[in-house]
């Protein structure tokens, strides 16, 4: 159906469901609770939605993605003092907050896995919650020890980590997040993986590991880059920040190693 036909005849409930990636049953429910009513009905009594209805549905789904309940969404959308632009600005602000939260979680996972510690950070449960949030580094202790327990890097990292205070871990997290942000910013700006910005950020990531956890030569860092795309957990942490970031980080690490002749 063309744009003009949709304007003239409306959008059927099935078509709207397909366009939005939801079920017809969901639209029936939205109609029943007065969250999204069809603009009109056909001569045969079928629900027909307008372009305005489709815009409202997009806002509903946006707020649902941000974790709002249906009643709260209806109250927000039906507020006569809020215009459509204000809705978009509010959703954008909430989404930015969520992205920042996910980025902090991703950094926590990335930092802890790279640390290859025994799973003990020397922090109390309350302190771990304050520093790492929802991510619990102890959950990976056994796996990490099995994989790298006989390596010098593991022993060096474990020895260092046991002495870190809450302030140390907060500094580690902040520094790791800054490095990840620099890589994400370079990718977003369209910088090539072999650009100075990307390679410098990759070098900062390597130095971050060496400074806080274990000596990380360029060739070892290259191996870590390979793990970022081969281990789905590493990949997922980067993909939550930006699609394609895991591969970008991998390539920037390799380019940085090549630059240094490693």
- Domains in the chain: ranges and CATH: 3-82 (1.10.1660.10), 94-259 (1.10.490.50)
Q: Tens digits of per-residue pLDDT, 16-70? A: 999 999 999 999 999 999 999 999 988 888 899 998 899 889 989 988 887 788 9
User: Which residues are CB-contacts of 77 (< 8 A; sequence separation ≥ 6)?
Assistant: 35, 56, 59, 60, 87
Q: How confident is the model at residue 150 (pLDDT cuts 50, 70, 90)?
A: low
Distances (CA, A) of 9 to 6, 43, 92, 106, 136: 5, 11, 32, 47, 54
Residue 158's φ and ψ, nearest 5 degrees, are: -60, -40
The structure's pTM equals 0.49
CB 173 within 8 Å of CB 111: yes
CB atoms within 10 A of CB 202: 30
Cα separation, 55 vs 84, whole angstroms: 9
Of 108-117, 193-202, 207-216, 231-240, give the lowest mean pLDDT range: 108-117
């Amino acid at each position: 159906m063309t744009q003009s036909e949709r304007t003239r005849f409306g959008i059927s409930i099935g078509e709207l469901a397909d366009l939005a990636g939801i079920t017809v049953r969901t639209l029936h429910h939205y109609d029943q609770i007065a969250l999204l009513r069809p603009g009109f009905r056909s001569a045969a009594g079928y629900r027909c939605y307008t372009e305005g209805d489709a815009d409202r549905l997009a806002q509903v789904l946006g707020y649902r993605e941000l974790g709002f309940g249906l009643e709260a969404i209806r109250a927000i959308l039906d507020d006569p003092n809020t215009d459509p632009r204000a809705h978009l600005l509010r959703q954008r602000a909430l989404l930015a907050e969520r992205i920042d939260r996910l980025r902090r979680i991703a950094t926590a996972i990335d930092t802890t896995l790279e640390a290859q510690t025994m799973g003990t950070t020397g922090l109390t449960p309350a302190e771990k919650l304050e520093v790492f949030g929802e991510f619990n580094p102890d959950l990976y202790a056994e796996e990490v020890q099995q994989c790298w327990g006989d390596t010098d890097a593991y022993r060096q990292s474990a020895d260092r980590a046991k002495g870190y205070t809450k302030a140390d871990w907060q500094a580690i997290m902040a520094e790791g997040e800054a490095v990840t942000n620099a890589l994400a910013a370079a990718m977003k700006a369209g910088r090539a993986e072999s650009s100075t910005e990307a390679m410098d950020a990759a070098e900062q990531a390597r130095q971050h590991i060496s400074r806080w956890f274990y000596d990380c030569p360029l060739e070892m860092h290259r191996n870590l880059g390979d793990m970022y795309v081969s281990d789905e957990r590493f990949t997922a942490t980067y993909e939550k920040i930006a699609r394609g970031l895991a591969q970008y980080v991998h390539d920037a690490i390799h380019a940085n190693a090549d630059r240094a002749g490693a």
